[in-house]
Amino acid sequence: MKKLINNPENVVEEMIDGYVKAHPSYVRRLAENDRSLVSSMETKVDKVGILIGGGSGHEPAFMGYVGAGMADGVAVGNIFASPPPAPILEVTKAINKGAGVLYLYGNYAGDVMNFGMAADLAEMEEIQVEMVLASDDVASAPKEEKDRRRGIAGEFFVYKTAGAAADFGYKLEEVARVARQTNENTRSMGVGLSPCSLPQTGEPSFELGENEMEVGLGHHGEPGIRKAQIESADKVADELLANIFGDMTLNKGDDVAVLVNGLGSTPRMELYIMFRRVEQVLKEKGINIYRSYVGDYITSLEMGGCSITLTKLDDELKKMIDHPVDCPMFVQK
Amino acid sequence: MKKLINNPENVVEEMIDGYVKAHPSYVRRLAENDRSLVSSMETKVDKVGILIGGGSGHEPAFMGYVGAGMADGVAVGNIFASPPPAPILEVTKAINKGAGVLYLYGNYAGDVMNFGMAADLAEMEEIQVEMVLASDDVASAPKEEKDRRRGIAGEFFVYKTAGAAADFGYKLEEVARVARQTNENTRSMGVGLSPCSLPQTGEPSFELGENEMEVGLGHHGEPGIRKAQIESADKVADELLANIFGDMTLNKGDDVAVLVNGLGSTPRMELYIMFRRVEQVLKEKGINIYRSYVGDYITSLEMGGCSITLTKLDDELKKMIDHPVDCPMFVQK
- State whether B265 and A302 contact (CB < 8 Å): yes
Q: In the β-sheet with B27-29, what is the strand arrangement from edge to edge?
A: B27-29, B36-39, B73-79, B49-56, B101-106, B129-134
Q: Are residues A93 and A114 in the same domain?
A: yes
- State whether A2 and B331 contact (CB < 8 Å): no
Average pLDDT over residues A263-285: 98
Average pLDDT over residues A228-233: 97
CB contacts, 8 Å: A279 with chain B = 18, 21-22
Span B107-144, pLDDT tens digits: 999 999 999 999 999 999 999 999 999 999 999 999 99
- Give the gap in angstroms from C-alpha B301 to the nearest C-alpha of chain A: 5
Q: List the CATH number of the domain containing A115.
A: 3.40.50.10440
Average pLDDT over residues B264-282: 98
Residues 6 or more apart from B42 whose CB is under 8 A from it? none
Q: Do the beta carbons of residue B186 and residue B201 sit within 8 Å?
A: no
Q: Are residues A23 and A139 in the same domain?
A: yes
**Residue A228 pLDDT class (50, 70, 90 cuts):** very high
Q: Is the pLDDT of residue A312 over 90?
A: yes
Q: Is the dihedral of CA B116, B118, B122, B124 positive or negative?
A: positive
Q: Are residues A51 and A118 in the same domain?
A: yes
A130: three-class secondary structure by DSSP: strand
Query: How far is residue A189 from each of residues A15, A154, A186, A207, A227, measured CA to CA in Å?
Result: 29, 9, 11, 19, 14
Q: Are residues A142 and A169 in the same domain?
A: yes
Where is mean pLDDT largest: A142-146, A319-323, B208-212? A319-323
Span A146-194, pLDDT tens digits: 889 999 999 999 999 999 999 999 999 999 999 999 999 999 999 999 9
Q: Is the pLDDT of residue A79 over 80?
A: yes
pLDDT at residue number A43: 77
Q: Are residues A97 and A73 in the same domain?
A: yes
Span B232-260, pLDDT tens digits: 999 999 999 999 999 999 999 999 999 99
- State whether A267 and B59 contact (CB < 8 Å): yes
Q: Which of B267, B299, B324 sits opposite A302 (nearest CB)?
A: B267
Query: How far is residue A132 from each of residues A154, A180, A190, measured CA to CA in Å?
Result: 13, 6, 22
Spatial separation of the C-alpha atoms in residues B86 and B212, rounded to whole Å: 41
Least confident of A157-171, B12-26, B101-115, B203-217: B203-217
Residues 6 or more apart from B199 whose CB is under 8 A from it? B3, B5, B8, B11, B79
Which of B268, B277, B279 to mutate to probe the A interface, most A CBs <10 Å?
B268
pLDDT at residue number A1: 80
Of B131, B156, B185, which marks where a domain is finished? B185
- State whether A333 and B331 contact (CB < 8 Å): yes
pLDDT at residue number B44: 81
Q: For A115-185, where are the E strands, in sequence order?
A: 129-134
Residue A2 resides in a domain: no
pLDDT at residue number A146: 87
CB contacts, 8 Å: B269 with chain A = 11, 15, 56-57, 59, 301
Average pLDDT over residues A92-113: 97
Spatial separation of the C-alpha atoms in residues A134 and B158, rounded to whole Å: 41
Span B288-302, pLDDT tens digits: 999 999 999 999 999
Q: Is the pLDDT of residue B43 over 80?
A: no
The kind and range of the H/E element at A49 are strand A49-56
Q: How many CB atoms lie within 10 A of CB A149?
A: 24
Spatial separation of the C-alpha atoms in residues A121 and A90, rounded to whole Å: 10
Q: Are residues B243 and B171 in the same domain?
A: no
- State whether B232 and A270 contact (CB < 8 Å): no
- State whether A4 and B299 contact (CB < 8 Å): no
pLDDT at residue number A213: 97
- Give the gap in angstroms from C-alpha A234 to the nearest C-alpha of chain B: 7
Q: Do the beta carbons of residue A141 and residue A112 sit within 8 Å?
A: no
Q: Do the beta carbons of residue A41 and residue A95 sit within 8 Å?
A: no
CA A21 to chain centre: 23
CB contacts, 8 Å: B193 with chain A = 2-4
Q: Are residues B159 and B169 in the same domain?
A: yes
Span B75-92, pLDDT tens digits: 999 999 999 999 999 999
Comparing CA positions, the residue from A320, A261, A232, A285 lying closest to residue A58 is A261
pLDDT at residue number B146: 87
pLDDT at residue number A308: 98
Question: Could you tell me which chain A residue has the CA closest to the CA of B230?
Answer: A2
Comparing CA positions, the residue from A104, A95, A22, A52 lying closest to residue A329 is A22
Q: List the CATH number of the domain containing A228.
A: 3.30.1180.20
- State whether A4 and B236 contact (CB < 8 Å): yes
pLDDT at residue number B45: 82
Across all residues in chain A, what is the average pLDDT? 97
CB contacts, 8 Å: B19 with chain A = 272, 275
Which of B15, B261, B269, B331 to mutate to probe the A interface, most A CBs <10 Å?
B269
Average pLDDT over residues B96-105: 97
- Specify whether B58 is catalytic: yes
- Give the gap in angstroms from C-alpha B264 to the nearest C-alpha of chain A: 6
Q: Is the pLDDT of residue A203 over 90?
A: no
CB contacts, 8 Å: B302 with chain A = 265-267, 304
Query: How far is residue B91 from each of residues A185, A299, B83, B97, measured CA to CA in Å?
Result: 41, 35, 12, 12
Q: Do the beta carbons of residue A241 and residue A272 sit within 8 Å?
A: no
pLDDT at residue number B74: 98
pLDDT at residue number B308: 98
Catalytic positions of A, written as ranges: 58, 220
Spatial separation of the C-alpha atoms in residues B213 and B191, rounded to whole Å: 7
The kind and range of the H/E element at A322 are helix A315-322
Average pLDDT over residues A35-57: 94
Q: Do the beta carbons of residue B138 and residue B187 sit within 8 Å?
A: yes
Q: Are residues A127 and A274 in the same domain?
A: no
Q: Are residues B249 and B158 in the same domain?
A: no
Count of domains in chain A? 2
**Residue B169 pLDDT class (50, 70, 90 cuts):** very high
ipTM given for this complex: 0.98
Q: For chain B, where are the E strands, in sequence order?
A: 27-29, 36-39, 49-56, 73-79, 101-106, 129-134, 186-194, 212-215, 226-229, 255-262, 288-295, 304-313, 325-327, 330-332
Residues 6 or more apart from B145 whose CB is under 8 A from it? none
> Any idea what DSSP says for residue A303?
B
Q: Give the domain range for residue A275.
A: 186-313
Q: Are residues B266 and B140 in the same domain?
A: no
Q: Are residues B60 and B156 in the same domain?
A: yes
Across all residues in chain B, what is the average pLDDT? 97
CB contacts, 8 Å: B264 with chain A = 265, 267
Of B185, B203, B218, which marks where a domain is finished? B185
Question: Could you tell me which chain B residue has the CA closest to the CA of A197?
Answer: B267
